[in-house]
Every structure is written in C-alpha cells, then in structure tokens.
Amino acid sequence: MPAQQHSPLTHVVDHPTLELPHWRFPYALEIELPKLLGLQVTRFMLTELIAAVLVVLVMVPVARHVAQKHVSRGWFMNMFEAMLLFIRDQVARPAIGGHGADAFLPYLWTVFFFVLFNNLLGLIPGMASATGNINVTAVLALGTLTAVIFAGMREMGPLKFWTGLVPHMDVPKVMLVFLWPLMFVIEVAGLLIRHIVLAVRLFANMFAGHVVLAVILGFILMAWDATAAVFWSVAGASVIGLIALSMLELFVAFLQAYIFTFLSALFIGSAVHPH
C-alpha cells in the first residue's frame, strides 16, 4: 500500500485482514481472514484466540510442574510461578480475604494472563491488541461482574446479597419506604458503573498507547516524499521514539493486566465481605 494511502491508525482498529511487515516499507502483506459459518474472522478475534492458546500452553505445564515438584527449576517455571504467587499473595488474599480467596484464583489467574498476552501481542508487528477494543474489555468486565454477583449470592444468599447493597439508614420508617428503593437503584447502578469503568479503563489505556505509537510511525509516512535528509532525520527520530515508547508500552502491558486483576479481586472481596 503506498505511503500516501496508508494510515498507521489502522493498527488500532479491527479489520478482516492481517497485515504482516513487508521488506518494501511502507508496503504490507495483507492476508484476508476467512469466514467461519458465515461469521467474518477479524484481526482481534485471531489475537484473542492466540492469547487463549498461550494461556493454556503456559498454565497447564506450570500447574502440572507445581503439583509434581515442590521446588521449581528453570527460568520459565520460576518466572510464571512467581507471577502466580504474586497474584495469590499480593492481590487475591489481601483483597478477598484469607484462604477463602483461593477459590477465585483460577478466574483471577486466567484473566491476568489473558489480558497480559493480549496486551503483549499488540507489540508484535503484524499482530494487534484486542484489549484496545471496548467490546473485548466489556466482555472481560462482564465476566468479573458475573463472578462478583455469584460470589456474593453464594456467600450471603441471593436475597441478602441484593438487599445488603443498601446501607443501613437510621431514619423514620415513613422516610425509609421512599428512601430504600431509591438507594437500591443507586447501589445497583453503582455496581454496574464500577464494572463499566473497569472495561473503559483497560480499553482507554491500551487504545491510547497504540494511537501514540501509530502517530509517531505516521511521521515517517508523512516524510516519505520529502528530501533524503528530511526523511532520514524524521525516520531516525521516529524509530528512537518508537523504541522508547515500546519499552513503556511493555511496562503498561503488565501494569494494566495487574490493575484489571486487582480491581476484579477487590470487587469480589467487596461482594463477599460487604462490611
């Protein structure tokens, strides 16, 4: 695709094609993704599938290794076991409380690595970060909302969980008849808003980071038809900026996976221990 017709922002939105780097920059090798049962496969769908496969390929061997050996050996097992223990000891148990938090660890571990791998895939040329799409983060937040509701209802019972959303109000019963339904609606809305913000937070951070990288890459395309001196000056500065910001995005990929998991654990803990 010619430089003047190519928009670097195509990296941050979904497409029915996969663009792989081409040796003749700024051309790209476009691969049309197929339709399955009438449903168009998109770039984000593919990267989500890759992330899910990576979660299985990592979690299953690590779980088997931990079950069979008390001491882990090798950098691969030590690295992932350290992350698993960090989520358990520094996120789940403090936020949810004691060893009761262990029941929620499979969900928290899965969502952490799924978000992390999706974030990291966006840093690979030709791939994309599905967590930069609000639809993907909305489904992830919906998963947390479902875990929160079921955890609360299992701990306190369905009726007590929903009625317990309303805090105790020391007011006359006549006023309570009017205030209680209003507070119930407000608390339910607050429960939903917290998870909407959870989705928007992850989406906005990942989308914004890739937009910045795309804009810096766009400077090279803007200077494509300029003189050689201008082009190589802009290209050199852009590449340096891309490398620096990519290192920052690498940190953000881990940070956003941690924040999403931490907030999920915090919301579950608030449902299990409302007071």
From CA 269, how far away is CA 267, in angstroms rounded? 5
Q: Which residues pair with 36 in a beta bridge?
A: 39
pLDDT at 11 (0 to 100): 63
pLDDT at 214 (0 to 100): 80
Q: Where are the beta strands (DSSP E) in 60-194?
A: none
H-helix or E-strand containing 197?
A: helix 173-222
pLDDT at 92 (0 to 100): 94
The identity of residue 100, as a single letter, is G
From CA 132, how far away is CA 122, in angstroms rounded? 9
Residues of the chain with pLDDT under 50: 1-5
Q: Does pTM surpass 0.85?
A: yes
> Hey, where are the domains in the chain?
3-272
| Residue 191, both tokens | 């429960």
Cβ distance 238 to 213 under 8 Å? no
pLDDT at 52 (0 to 100): 96
The identity of residue 166, as a single letter, is V
Q: What is the pLDDT of residues 242-252, one digit of tens each?
A: 888 889 999 99
